[in-house]
Amino acid sequence: RTGLEWTATNWMRALNAVLPKDIAVRASALMDDHFHAQHNARGKLYTYRILHRSAKPAIDRAFVWHIYRPLDEAAMRQAATALIGTQDFSSFEGSLTDNTNPICHLQRLSVIRQGDQLLIEAYADRFLKHMVRAMVGTVVDVGLGKRTPDSLPEVLKARDRSAAGRTAPPHGLCLMHVDYE
């Protein structure tokens, strides 16, 4: 609460004027005093971009994970499908967290080819710390043949971060959208 009588458009313009250049507010709305951006969210969509070609990225290197080795996209899609559902995602949670509830409802984890890029889209009611990057790293490990798609149910069952694959680098991840109540 600020006491300012601004419109949603005024707030959007003001925020964009002071935010870092790599963060942009595309829409805003006025909310009541009890609204909480994290606790009132009912779903979030993240996209992770992988540049899959031999040539290194020049322009967008800060926004993609460059992988030049062959990837089995069908196996990656199969692995992604195995993670969908309401379950304990402890195996995909980063360390040093005070989270007490590892249950998330992952509604979508898709692997989409767009030219020389692979987009991995994840939509869930909530995510654990580093969960998207850990899932992406594990799905990429499947694509590289380091593990099989059939191993993912066992990874979930282990409830142990060391059972999953590597954590993908942060620079391919982007929060695309948040759905609110």
Note the pLDDT tens digit of each residue in 34-74.
Answer: 888 888 899 999 999 999 999 999 999 999 999 999 999 99
pLDDT tens digit string along 79-112? 999 999 999 999 999 988 888 999 999 999 999 9
pLDDT tens digit string along 140-159? 999 999 999 999 999 999 99
Identify which of 124, 143, 126, 137 has the alpha carbon closest to the alpha carbon of residue 169.
137
Identify which of 146, 152, 172 has the alpha carbon closest to the alpha carbon of residue 52.
172
Instruction: Say what the alpha-carbon torsion angle 91, 38, 46, 166 is, to the nearest 10 degrees.
Output: -30
Q: Global pTM?
A: 0.90
What is the structure's pLDDT at 4?
80
Domain map (residue ranges) of the chain: 1-30, 41-180
Report the b/e string of 125-143 with b at 16+ CB within 10 A: ebbbebbbbbbbbbbbbbb
pLDDT of residue 31 exceeding 70, the answer is yes
Q: Give CA–CA dist 52/168, Å, rounded.
A: 14
Q: Is 85 left (phi over 0), alpha (psi -120 to 50) or beta?
A: left
Identify which of 2, 26, 32 has the alpha carbon closest to the alpha carbon of residue 12.
26
117 three-class SS: strand
- CATH assignment, 41-180: 3.30.70.660
What is the structure's pLDDT at 72?
98
By the 8 A CB rule, do 111 and 118 touch?
yes
